[in-house]
């Protein structure tokens, strides 16, 4: 990720920013979003919040960290997923393996948990780009809240624009 993108990506720039408590955010999602194809969560706290509220994500992407500190998710959360995929994704990058893991999970029919060794923060970008139209991608924005994105042509184009600014390197 180019350093010039860091300020933009650490702010709310797309979707709806939910700034309440996790419980308030969950109530907002349940009451205001009536129709969506499926949910994708990116981040440990977001995944815990959504799954604790009796919503089942099709895909959740976690790294067992929150604000760079360990954040062990309960076995109850992990038990909500029938399939687990493990991938590596260093901070500030989006690896091909992580991207392909998202594609694989979304092609399947069973709820999938992607466990990231490294950092999952930027994986909301390929999640939006690979998700079906009408799906929700919800990710955490540290110290600010949760961002909820309804996947549309507009949101996919925004994410493509950001991705086009990335530097592509060979993963050897």
Asked if residue 130 is part of any domain, the answer here is: no
Q: What is the pLDDT of residues 16-32, one digit of tens each?
A: 999 999 889 999 988 87
Residue 84 CB-density burial (10 A; 0-12 exposed, 13-18 middle, 19+ buried): exposed
Distances (CA, A) of 2 to 13, 93, 107: 17, 9, 30
Asked if residue 3 is part of any domain, the answer here is: no
Would you state the structure tokens that stand for residue 111, as one six-digit string? 């709820």
Per-range mean pLDDT, top range of 98-102, 162-166, 168-172: 98-102
Separation CA 108–CA 162 (nearest Å): 27
Asked if residue 7 is part of any domain, the answer here is: no
Beta-bridged to residue 118, according to DSSP, are: 89
Structural domain range at position 106:
15-112+136-163
Separation CA 89–CA 94 (nearest Å): 6
Separation CA 153–CA 73 (nearest Å): 33
Q: Are 146 and 136 in contact (CB under 8 A)?
A: no
| Arithmetic mean of pLDDT, 122-135 | 96
Asked if residue 169 is part of any domain, the answer here is: no
Q: What is the 3-state secondary structure (H, E, C) of 32-99?
A: HCCCCCCEEEECHHHHHHHHHCCCCCCEEEECCEECCEECCCCHHHHCCCCEEEEEEECCCCCCHHHH
Q: What is the pLDDT of residues 115-127, one digit of tens each?
A: 999 989 899 999 9
Asked if residue 82 is part of any domain, the answer here is: yes
Q: Is the pLDDT of residue 143 over 90?
A: no
Would you state the structure tokens that stand for residue 140, as one six-digit string? 């955490």
Which residue would you say has higher pLDDT here, 171 or 101?
Answer: 101
Percent of the chain scoring above 70 in pLDDT = 83
| Arithmetic mean of pLDDT, 143-158 | 94
The per-residue pLDDT for 64 is 79
Asked if residue 87 is part of any domain, the answer here is: yes
Q: What is the pTM of this model?
A: 0.88
Asked if residue 172 is part of any domain, the answer here is: no
How many independent structural domains does the chain possess?
A: 1
Asked if residue 129 is part of any domain, the answer here is: no
The per-residue pLDDT for 97 is 95
Output the CA angle 154-156-159, nearest 5 degrees: 110
Per-range mean pLDDT, top range of 10-19, 97-106, 157-166: 97-106
The per-residue pLDDT for 100 is 96
| Arithmetic mean of pLDDT, 155-171 | 81
Q: Is the pLDDT of residue 170 over 60?
A: no
Q: What is the pLDDT of residues 51-93, one digit of tens each?
A: 988 889 999 999 876 655 555 665 667 778 889 999 999 988 8
């Amino acid at each position: 990720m180019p350093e010039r993108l860091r300020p933009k990506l650490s702010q709310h720039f797309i979707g709806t920013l939910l700034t309440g408590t996790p419980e308030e955010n969950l109530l907002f999602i349940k009451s205001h979003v009536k129709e969506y194809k499926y949910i994708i969560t990116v981040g440990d706290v977001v995944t815990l919040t959504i799954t604790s509220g009796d919503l089942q994500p099709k895909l959740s992407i976690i790294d067992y960290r929150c604000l760079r500190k360990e954040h062990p998710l309960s076995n109850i959360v992990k038990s909500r997923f029938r399939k687990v995929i493990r991938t590596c994704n260093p901070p500030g990058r989006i690896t091909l393996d992580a991207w392909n893991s998202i594609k694989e999970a979304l092609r399947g029919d069973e709820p999938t948990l992607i466990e990231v060794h490294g950092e999952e923060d930027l994986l909301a970008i390929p999640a939006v780009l690979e998700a079906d139209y009408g799906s929700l991608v919800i990710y955490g924005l540290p110290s600010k809240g949760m961002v909820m994105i309804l996947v549309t042509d507009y949101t996919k184009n925004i994410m493509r624009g950001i991705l086009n600014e990335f530097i592509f390197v060979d993963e050897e």
